[in-house]
Amino acid sequence: MLKPKIEKALNKQIELEASSSQFYLAMASWAETQGMNGTAAFLYKHSDEERMHMLKLIKFINERGGTAVIPPLTKPPAEFESIKEIFESLLEHELNVTDSINNVVDVCLSEKDYTTHNFMQWYVSEQLEEEALARNIIDKLNMIGNDKGGLYLFDRDLENLAAQPINMA
């Protein structure tokens, strides 16, 4: 049985993962309307991945005797200045997610819930990858600058990246 503090922290994380999925979905839609189909494919996939993170939490809470709370959808922004702004926003958002996951881990330790702590280690590792990927993409965009040929190749590279399967092990 989950302790109330743990259940509350996990449900807050569900809300953040759902929000992340919506945020990345809005980014994908915007990129697609800008002719950046590779970037859109990458972001659509990222949106799906965030939803799967949410589902993993929902199932964990319910399996441990808690009650997962499905959050309402919050409207994400519909307009973005540029592809670079999208990925800077994505990194900032991922840093917030990391802080939230670290908070859940902290609550697990203070409540001596080592089962949930162990479960959350997957999310800790996932966040390292998410942040590194976002920083790498921003570095590439900084190298490209305003070069349209470079942006074309960047978009194509993201399309190839999006074609790789999602690892949810």
State pLDDT tens for residues 72-126. 998 999 999 999 999 999 999 999 999 999 999 999 999 999 999 999 999 999 9
- pLDDT score, position 142: 95
Q: Give the residue ranges of the annotated binding site for Fe cation.
A: 17, 50, 53, 94, 127
- Residue 166, pLDDT above cutoff 70: no
Mean pLDDT value across residues 53-73: 97
Please state which of the ranges 9-13, 90-94, 158-162 shows the lowest mean pLDDT: 158-162
Q: 166 or 121: which carries more pLDDT confidence?
A: 121
Q: Where are the domains of the chain?
A: 4-162
| Nearest Cα to Cα of residue 49 among 109, 135, 133 | 133
Helix, strand or coil, per DSSP, at residue 80:
coil
- pLDDT score, position 19: 96
What span, in angstroms and rounded, lies between the C-alpha atoms of 67 and 14? Answer: 12
| Nearest Cα to Cα of residue 68 among 10, 133, 28 | 10
As a whole number, the mean pLDDT across the chain is: 95
Mean pLDDT value across residues 49-65: 97
- pLDDT score, position 165: 77
Q: Give the residue ranges of the annotated binding site.
A: 17, 50, 53, 94, 127
- pLDDT score, position 169: 57
Listed in sequence order, the DSSP H helices in 34-82 are 37-63
The domain 4-162 is classified under which CATH number: 1.20.1260.10, 1.10.287.1400, 1.20.120.1200, 3.10.20.30? 1.20.1260.10
Burial of 66 (0-12, 13-18, 19+ CB in 10 A): buried
- In this structure, are residues 136 and 158 in contact, taking their beta carbons and an 8 Å threshold? no
- pLDDT score, position 105: 98
- In this structure, are residues 123 and 101 in contact, taking their beta carbons and an 8 Å threshold? yes
- pLDDT score, position 168: 58
Question: Any idea what DSSP says for residue 68?
Answer: -
Mean pLDDT value across residues 162-169: 72
- In this structure, are residues 32 and 146 in contact, taking their beta carbons and an 8 Å threshold? no
